[in-house]
């Protein structure tokens, strides 16, 4: 099973408060965010993880080279420093969501890279070539893991987290993000504790929750380094990747739904769409998106349901699948039932694919995603998009069932909240 190792983390040397130096991960940053975080602090991590190019010492560098310069230079200047001894790092996030307090705790370590299909590390979403190549180029340039992979592991008896929480630890960093989430990092370097955790994890599968593109790019970087290595089969830093591991049974593991904003690729009549949908769905109405969300959240997971809100129609339509047999007819990829009967599968295969007539490539160009329905409404009012889709979030059990069966969930199926923030910890790939 996956092999975890302690490592000498790289972090901001000023540990008092790094709130102005951290940012959300690269894949959720907007152009406005990038500008804002760059202005916030000249050493903000956004200059490392998503640099679009900078003029440095009179020379114009592309984004990857600029990231490389900053990562090396900040270490030389003492802005960043490498831990004196290897450890694993507890990462705690305290936050409030819908008037409820949460405290999510996991830990970061170096994890030996395993090919998908090895029954050790399971992906749950498909990946795309562009982001993989982007993260690979960044890794080559900086020779570092700048952001952790987010993975889940079974810890039903709470043995592993109990071991970690009881271990002696030192606080390394603390920060508060714009959403009010408190991030705290602690180092554990007790060899006995780390060995106990490694043994306890020996037979545990890891399920990637977030960071599929980064994990795949790490596999490619490993192969690149093996091809140019002069040290044979000797283990190298590139054989491992920085990973955050969280128990999948945690009551503080919050998964939000990812809503869609669909832009019709051709002129369509909304009433004709609804008439076509009536063949497969029971359709009811409500007056607001909030009421639509409440309705689908109270629908049992065993029933497939989602909501539609069209651009020029304030009515919210609740669509509930009448009979699952139609999904079996559309199952050309031979998905297992766990994958086939997800709400997001019904949405993409039946409604978007069959009723709207949008294949995968067309859909990817004409759908935007957000866990915030108000953001999508603003985008639609500003002129982009024709229909907002509201869905329930999948459960951890559903994710595990789909991945264990060898399937992957549709793109943008899950949003683990809050995101792991970039800048709390880095891992150098230079020995």
Residue-by-residue DSSP string for 366-386: SEEEES-HHHHHHHHHTT--S
Q: Record the pTM.
A: 0.91
Q: 228 with 351: CB under 8 angstroms?
A: no
Instruction: Identify whether the C-beta of residue 151 lies closer than 8 Å to the C-beta of residue 243.
Output: yes
What share of the chain has pLDDT > 90, as a percent?
A: 87
Q: Which of 174, 180, 177 is CA-nearest to residue 23?
A: 177
* Residue 1: pLDDT over 70: no
What does the angle CA 218 – CA 224 – CA 230 come to, to the nearest 5 degrees? 125
Instruction: Examine the pLDDT at 243 and tell me if it is beyond 80.
Output: yes
Q: Give the pLDDT band (50/70/90) at residue 117.
A: confident
Q: Which tens digit of pLDDT belongs to each residue from 71-115?
A: 999 999 999 999 999 999 999 999 999 999 999 999 999 999 999
* pLDDT exceeds cutoff 90 at 399: yes
The whole-angstrom separation of Cα 207 and Cα 205 is: 7
How many other CB atoms are there within 10 angstroms of residue 82's CB atom? 15
How confident is the model over 211-233, as pLDDT tens digits? 999 999 999 999 999 998 777 67
Higher pLDDT, 14 or 380: 380
Q: Quote the tokens at residue 133.
A: 């190549």
DSSP 8-state class, residue 168? -
pLDDT given for residue 195 in this prediction: 95
Tell me the average pLDDT of the chain.
94
Q: Is 396 helix (H, G, I), strand (E, B) or coil?
A: helix
Q: Specify whether the backbone of 423 is left (phi greater than 0), alpha (psi in -120 to 50) or beta.
A: left
* pLDDT reading at 154 higher than 70: yes
Provide the strand spans (E) within 313-393. 316-321, 367-370, 387-391
User: Comparing 174-178, 239-243, 329-333, 401-405, which segment has the lowest mean pLDDT?
Assistant: 401-405
User: Rounded to an integer, what distance in angstroms lies between the CA atom of residue 228 and that of residue 206?
Assistant: 29
Kind of pairing between the strands at 316-321 and 206-210: unpaired
Residue 118: what pLDDT? 84
Burial class (CB in 10 A: 0-12, 13-18, 19+), 117: exposed
**Structural domains present in the chain:** 4-254+418-428 (no CATH), 258-392 (3.30.1760)
pLDDT in the model for residue 203: 87
* Three-class SS state of 12: strand
Supply the DSSP symbol for 393: P
């Amino acid at each position: 099973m996956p092999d975890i190792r302690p490592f000498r983390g790289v972090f901001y040397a000023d540990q008092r408060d790094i709130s102005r130096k951290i940012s959300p991960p690269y894949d959720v940053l907007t152009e406005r965010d990038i500008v804002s975080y760059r202005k916030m602090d000249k050493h903000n991590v956004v200059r490392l993880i998503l640099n679009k190019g900078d003029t440095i010492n009179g020379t114009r560098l592309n984004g990857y080279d600029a990231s490389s310069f900053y990562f090396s230079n900040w270490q030389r200047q003492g802005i960043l420093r490498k831990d004196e001894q290897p450890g694993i790092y507890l990462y705690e996030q305290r936050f409030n969501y819908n008037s409820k307090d949460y405290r999510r705790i996991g830990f970061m370590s170096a994890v030996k890279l395993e090919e998908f299909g090895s029954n050790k590390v399971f992906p749950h979403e498909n990946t795309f070539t562009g982001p993989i190549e982007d993260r690979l180029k960044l890794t080559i340039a900086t020779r570092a893991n700048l952001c952790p992979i987010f993975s889940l592991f079974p810890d039903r008896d709470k043995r592993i987290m109990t071991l970690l929480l009881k271990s002696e630890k030192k606080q390394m960093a603390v920060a508060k993000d714009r959403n009010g989430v408190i991030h705290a990092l602690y180092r554990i370097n007790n060899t006995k504790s780390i060995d106990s955790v490694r043994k306890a994890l020996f037979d545990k599968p890891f399920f990637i929750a977030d960071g599929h593109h980064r994990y795949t790019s790490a596999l490619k970087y490993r192969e690149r380094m093996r091809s140019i290595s002069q040290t044979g089969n000797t283990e190298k830093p590139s054989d491992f990747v920085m990973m955050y591991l969280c128990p999948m049974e945690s009551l503080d593991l919050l998964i939000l739904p990812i809503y869609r904003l669909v832009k019709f690729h051709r002129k369509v009549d909304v009433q004709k769409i609804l008439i076509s949908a009536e063949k497969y769905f029971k359709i009811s109405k409500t007056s607001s998106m909030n009421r639509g969300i409440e309705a689908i959240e109270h629908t049992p997971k065993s029933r497939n349901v989602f909501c539609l809100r069209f651009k020029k129609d304030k009515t919210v339509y609740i669509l509930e699948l009448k009979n699952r047999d139609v999904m079996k007819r559309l199952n050309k990829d031979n998905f297992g039932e766990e994958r086939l009967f997800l709400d997001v599968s019904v949405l993409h295969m039946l409604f978007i694919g069959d009723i709207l007539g949008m294949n995968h490539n067309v859909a990817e160009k004409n759908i935007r995603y957000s866990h915030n329905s108000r953001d999508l409404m603003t985008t639609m009012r500003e002129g982009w998009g024709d229909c907002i889709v509201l869905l329930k979030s999948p459960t951890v059990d559903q994710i595990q069932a789909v991945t264990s069966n060898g399937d992957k969930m549709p793109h943008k199926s899950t949003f683990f909240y809050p995101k792991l923030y970039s800048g709390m910890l880095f891992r150098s790939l230079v020995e």
